[in-house]
Structure 1
Amino acid sequence: MKIVISGFYGLGNTGDEAILEAIIYNLREQLENPEITVFSLSPDKTAKEHHVNSVYRGWRHDFKKKVGALKGADLLISGGGGLLQDTYPTRFLFGPLPYYLLIVFLAKLCGTKVMFFSQGIGPVHSKWGKILMKVFANMADFVTVRDQYSKDLLHRLGVTRPQTVVTSDIVFAYQPRKSTACIDSLPLENRDNLVAVSVRPWFEKVKQFEQMAQILDALIEHRGVTPVFVPMEGHHDAKASERVLAQMVHKDQCYVLGTDFSPNQYVNFIGECQLTIGMRLHALIFSTIMGVPHIGLSYDKKVESLLKRNHMWEFSAALQDIDVDEMITNAIGLMDHREKYSEIILNSAAELKQEALRNVELLKEKFLK
C-alpha cells in the first residue's frame, strides 16, 4: 500500500514528530511493507530519521513531486495533531487551515482517497475558515478524531459526508525505547525528586509565567523538588521557560533541557519525574504513557479533553482560571499519593492506547482491499 502523510512535520515540534513516528511505526506493524512518503519542511532529515520518502511540504517548491506522490498513492493520511484550526491567522489561501485542506483537495484531484487520521479539530472561528471546512473537509473519505469535542465541532461546521469515529491521539500507541540522554545531560546530584515543566508561548497571555514561577518556588521550598523545563518546541518553549525562571526566587535550583532532543529522549526523561506540570498537550500525553501524575494548564480544548479522559482534570485548570494555592496543594497531593495516581493514569493509558491503535485498524478496514 502506498501512503502519503501530511502534517506539521519537519519543523521541530516534539509533539508532531512523535505523532509522525507513531504513525509510521504502527503502519509498519499492521500493514505489509507500506511505501510511505511524508510531506515535510525538512525532507532530507525526515527521510533519514524514518527511512521514508519525503517531499518538501511548502507550495513554492517541489509541487510536481507532491502531485506525483499523490497520484501514485493509494491513500493520503492527513494528521494527526491539531491541523484544522484557525487560531493562527487564516487569510484566503494562507495559514494552516487552507494549507492542509488544499492538500486534501489536491489529493482528490489526483484520484487519491483521504483519511483524516487521529485529528484534533478546531478552534475554527473565522467565517472563511468555516467555509473552507464545509467545502473541503467534506471531501475526506473517512475521519478519525482524538476526542468527542472534535467530532461535535466537525458536525457543527457542517462536515457530515465522511464517517467520523472518535479514537485517541496516535501518540498513545508510541513505543518508547530506553534512553538516558536527557537526564545524563544535567549536572544532577539527586535524581529522586524531579518535576518536569512544560510551558509555551500563547499569544498575549503572560500571567501563567508568573503563576508557574510561584508554584515552582513553593514546591522547591516545601518539598525540595528540582524543576526541569522540557522545551517541546525548540527555542519557542525555551524562551517561555526563561520567562518563568526570570520571575523565580529559586531559579538557581532549576534546569532547562536542551532543545535538540528527540521525542523518545524527552518521553524517557518525563518518565523519570515525580510529577509533570505542563501546558503542552504532548508533554501531558508523554506523562500519561509513562504513568507520571500531572497537572495540566489548559490553553485549548484539546488539553482539557485529554485531562478529562485520563482523570487528571480535577487537579488541573484552564489557563485563565489558575489558582496558585490550589495548584500547589494539588501538586503536593499528587506527589504524596504518587503510586495511587500512577496506577490510575496507567490504566487510562492502556485504554487510550487501544483507542489509538483503532486508527490503523479502521484504516485497514476502510482502505485495504
Structure 2
Amino acid sequence: MKFVISGFYGLGNTGDEAILEAIIDNLRTNFDNPEITVFSLSPEKTAKEHNVKSVYRAWRRENKEKVRELKSADLLISGGGGLLQDTYPTKFLFGPLPYYLLIVLLAKLCGTKVMFFSQGVGPVNSGWGKFLMKLANLADFITVRDEYSKELLHKLGVKKPQTVVTSDIVFAFQPKEDRACVESLGLKGDERLIAVSVRPWLGRTKQFEQMAVILDQLIEKTGFTPVFVPMEGHHDEKASKDVMAHMKHADKCLLLGNDFTPNQYLQFIGQCKMTIGMRLHALIFSTLMGVPHIGLSYDKKVESLLKRNGMWEVSSVLEEVDEQVLVENAMKILDNHNHYATIVKTNAEELKKEALKNIELLKEKFARD
C-alpha cells in the first residue's frame, strides 16, 4: 500500500517526531514494503532520517507534488498528535486547523481515502474554527487518543465517520538502545537523576518560578540531580534556563542539548528515577519506560494521559500548582518508587495495546485484499 502522512513534522518537536517514527515503524512491521510519503517542513531531513519520500508541507511550494502524491496514495494518514485545535491563531486559511483540514479536503478531491489517526482534538473555541471542523466529516475513519477528543468531535458536529478511542501511537514506539544523552552529560555514574520538562505556554511565566522552588527543595532534601530535557528545541531550552534563573541551586542542574532524537530522549528518561514535566510526550516517554512522574497539566490532553496512566493523584493542573504539595508528592514517589513504577508499567501495557489498535483498525478498514 501507499501512504501519505500529514502532521507537524520537520519542525523539531520531539513529540511529533516520535509520533512519525512510531507510525512509520509500525506500518513497516504490519505491511509488506509500504510506500510512505511524509509532508514535512524539512523534507530532506525527514527523507534521510526515515528512508521515506518527503514533500514540503507548506503551501508556498511543491503543491503539484502534494497533489501527485495524494492521487497515487491509497490512504492519507492525518496525525497523530494535537493537530485539530485553534489554541494558536487561526485566521481564515492560516493556522494549524485550516492547514490540516485543507490537506484532508485536497486528498478527497484527489479520490484518496482519509484516516484521522490517533488524534488529540481541541481546544476549538473560535467560531471560524468550529465551522472548519465540519470538514472533518470528510474523513473515512477516525481514531482519537482519549475520550475527551471523541466527545469534543461529536459536540462540534463531526459525526459522519466512525470514531474509536485508542491511545497515542507513541505508546507503540519501538525503542532502540542508545546512550547518547547520558554520555553527553559527562556523568560520573553515581548520580541520581530526575528528568524535568518545561515549555513556554501562552506567555505564562509563573510555572518557571514554581518549578524552581520545587527543584531547589528536592535538591536540598534528596541530593538528586535535575536534568532538563528540551522536547522542542530552543523553545524548551529557553524555558529551562528561565527556571534555572530563579533557582538557588541551578549549579546542581544539567541541561541536555536540544538536537537529540526522540529515541535518545526516551532512553535518557528511562535512566531517571522520576520525571516532573509539562510536555505530553515527556510524560508519555516516562510511562513507556516505567518511570513515575508528576505532570503539570496545561491542557486536557495532559490530564487525560495522567488519569489513564495512574499518575493524576500526584499531579496538578498548571493553574492550581501548590509547590509544597508537589514536593511532598515527589518525596512520596521517591520513597515508594517500586509501587509507583508498577502502576506506570501496568498502565503502559494497556496503553500500548490501545496504541496498536490504531494500526489494527487501519488494516481492517483500508488494507487491500
Matched, 1:51 2:61: no
Q: Does 1:241 align with 2:228?
A: no
- In 2 relative to 1, CA 107–275 (structure 1 residues): closer, same or farther, beyond 3 Å? same
Shift in Å, 1:102: 0.1
**Shift of the alpha carbon at 1:108?**
0.3
Report SS of the residue matched to 2:26.
helix
| Secondary structure of 1:100's aligned partner | helix
Q: Does 1:32 align with 2:29?
A: no
Deviation digits for residues 110-168 of structure 1 (CA, Å, limit 9, x no counterpart): 0000000000000000000000002x100000000000000000000000000000000
2:74 aligned partner: 74
* Aligned mates of 2:183, 2:362 — CA distance in 1: 40
Say whether residues 1:114 and 2:99 are aligned partners.
no
Q: Give the ranges of 4+ consecutive aligned residues of structure 1 lying more than 2 Å apart after TM superposition.
A: 187-192
How many residues are paired up?
Answer: 368
1:368 aligns with 2:367: yes
Structure 1 unaligned blocks of 5 or more: none
CA distance in 1, matches of 2:18, 2:100: 19
Cα drift, residue 187 of structure 1: 2.8
Inter-partner Cα distance in structure 2 for 1:204 and 1:349 = 33
Report the alpha carbon displacement of residue 31 of structure 1 after superposing the two structures with TM. 1.1
Counterpart amino acid of residue 237 in structure 2: A
Q: Which amino acid is the alignment partner of residue 222 of structure 1?
A: K
Identity of aligned residues (%): 71
Q: Is residue 141 of structure 1 aligned with residue 154 of structure 2?
A: no
Q: CA deviation at 1:190?
A: 4.3
SS in 1 for 2:325: helix
Partner of 1:95: 95
For 2:345 and 2:121, the matched residues in 1 are separated by 26
Q: 2-side partners of 1:198 and 1:365: how far apart?
A: 37
- Aligned CA-pair RMSD: 0.6
Shift of 1:189: 2.8
Query: Alpha-carbon deviations, 1:286-316, whole Å to 9, x = none?
Result: 0000000000000000000000000000000
**Alignment-mate amino acid for residue 67 of structure 1:** V
- Displacement of 1:188: 2.2
Quick one: structure 1 residues 175 and 191, their matched pair in 2 at CA, closer, same or farther if it must change by over 3 Å? farther
Partner of 2:269: 270
Give ranges in structure 2 of 5+ residues lacking alignment.
Answer: none
Instruction: Please give the secondary structure, in 1, of the residue aligned with 2:357.
Output: helix
C-alpha separation between the residues in 2 aligned to 1:191 and 1:64?
56
1:97 & 1:50 partners in 2: Cα distance? 26
Match of 1:211 in 2: 210
Output the TM-score relative to the length of structure 2. Answer: 0.99
Change in CA separation of 1:294 and 1:286 when aligned onto 2, cut-off 3 Å: same
Q: Look up the SS of the partner of 2:129 in the other structure.
A: helix
Please give the alpha-carbon distance, in whole angstroms, between the structure 1 residues aligned to 2:231 and 2:318. 18
Distance 2:258 2:367 in 1: 39
Kindly provide the amino acid, as one letter, of the partner of residue 41 in structure 2. Answer: L
The alignment partner of 2:20 has SS state of helix
Paired AA for residue 107 in structure 1: A
